[in-house]
Amino acid sequence: MTIKMVQAKELLAFNIKMLRKKSGFSQEKLAEAADLSTQTISDIEGCRTWVSDKTLEKLSAILNVDVFQLFMPPTEGNGGNEDSLLYNRLVKLKTIMKEDIDKRLDQFYLSEKASSLHTP
């Protein structure tokens, strides 16, 4: 799975959970309204499963948003509450951590390459 697909899945999960709570639905009630199992809603919100186009349409209709809005990053304008701010901070932290790991891997690779050049 590509990074962009992971990000899309994370956005979808976050937005469904945020909109579900904002609309006053429990996972059970949303599952019932969408004719899905509670486990499926839990799996979607936990980034453990992907959804079909039919499911996206059902969920967006129940949550009163267009399908594309389920993939929009949260901003101050579209529900910029504590959850959105926390999400933005987590995304930033994830980016910083990824850059740090990439840097460390590059350094390790270069040191290993240099070591192999010096050993007969």
pLDDT tens, N- to C-terminus, the chain (120 residues): 566 777 888 889 999 999 999 999 999 999 999 999 999 999 999 989 989 999 999 999 999 999 998 988 876 555 555 566 666 777 777 778 788 888 888 888 888 877 777 666
Predicted pLDDT at 29: 97
Spatial contact of 48 and 10, defined as CB atoms under 8 Å apart: no
Domain around 7: 1-72
- Dihedral of CA 51/38/25/44: which sign? negative
Predicted pLDDT at 16: 95
Predicted pLDDT at 98: 81
User: Backbone phi, then psi, for 97, in 5-degree steps?
Assistant: -65, -40
Residue 52 and residue 82 share a domain: no
Residue 64 and residue 11 share a domain: yes
What residue type is assigned to position 79 of the chain? G
Q: Does the model's pTM come out above 0.85?
A: no
Residue 84 and residue 48 share a domain: no
Q: How many domains does the chain have?
A: 2
